[in-house]
Structure 1
């Protein structure tokens, strides 16, 4: 394992500024809001702030407060932050992000969590400083195997796993692969697959029906990004690699929940994730996870047995009875505020729920 410090050459930052300043903006329809995608005024405003207000160096320094390392696992470079707790007997906790997030999202919870846990915060292969990937096959199960190997190399005989979005798929997969060492799994932004049984659907509570309907809306109106990245990620990658404004718009659509949670994630947090992806050239390889991990969206052959907690934030489509078909759910918490990106939108609530489950 080698110590790693983020140190972006100034020439790359200058190139980013020049490209932003030369953005060729597309036309757009008036009066359609978010129904066709991110409105031009939203992207222009955030791009202008990226150009003249956002400070990458400030966030680079903030992220470098986290001790970081790289190692090679299964032929792929893996970057991770490793924050040791001063608490005697602290439980190691493996934190996994999703898309279009990066490990940087957990920088907001690392301080308070490290009071009670040793933290291991890897970048998913293909993302940020763990990318790009150089071979096919980096789906959920292979990532989970890499995580189990990483924890073995760090000498942790027992640990917990936490994740949201794609992390809510990867973390349970780690527990299935490493059941003797994973003591519990905590999930947020958990997608649950609605039943095809009409009788079962009719028995849902009003809240559960709304959440199941939200999943249907996502499929019908918002899933285009997942379909493209799940089928033609390379074609998309050319535009994302060449245009920072294009990458900003592509990721911003997700951070704003396709217009349903505009402004829910602070603009500096959006831009930190987007800037990391731009500077590392990983917008294309991170999107490949949707193709590589497509088989993991269905139900597993057997439900997981590891004790699992689910934190449900406003906007999540999680339905408990569906989650219980997949996970051994022993704790289910409905949180009053926050959203899909809980580590950014409601860090204190997420920290409290993780503590309540593992301690």
Structure 2
């Protein structure tokens, strides 16, 4: 009996991704829509990165952080969507255990990094609005590089902690992952061992990963709102609100979905709801971010118009 179990465990080293298309009545149409959204996310974020790189007026810490955000968005939509689309086109839905582990690690690293990057962006806005005279010193290029490097490092800690433990559990139940990529909660449901202790530790880890950035963001915006309230200039208040509103929109969208996925009890979760939420912050958020930062930012729209004039002139 034990040999049979080991044999089955060895032979079946891959997983079946039962994702979005199996739930859709029109999978071909859904595939086309996701492909278009994927192209929009790639082109929008790449354009924003290039625009900030080439326009000298956008060479400041705020836009440096936005380029990092766009880079993370491009990378983590590329971790999940191309595989999903290729599987649909090729008519396969399998993923090997090493591929699943790598996808999980990259995804956790990028999402964790974005948590901390959004906190660094909030701190940047706090310094810019509350301490404008000291801004060039407090947010010099070296400080920005240290902050961004720390975000990537802390994000990778999340990946290094959760991925090896998740992938070493025995998976002797059905190997169908009811998701479109290897997300930790979806993979954990396949384990035949008791994972309650690990789930508790994972929950505490996620709380900590969210608590630190949320504390930084809420503290920064508390000081910002207090400073804006004391401003005598209506134009100054308007500019400060405009600068912060784009960032707060991104924070609410991203953190709201993450809290649902990793912090709500299992009783709130169903495979269908989990996939919908994951689609929102894995596929739709990378499309929305460049739109939010371009349409709601006068400096970026001015740079876009200037770029358009230059292209039409040529």
Q: TM-score if structure 2 supplies the norm length?
A: 0.31
More relative contact order, 1 or 2 (CA 8 Å, 6+ apart)? 2
Bigger strand fraction: 1
Q: Which has the larger radius of gyration?
A: 2
TM-score by length of structure 1 reads 0.29
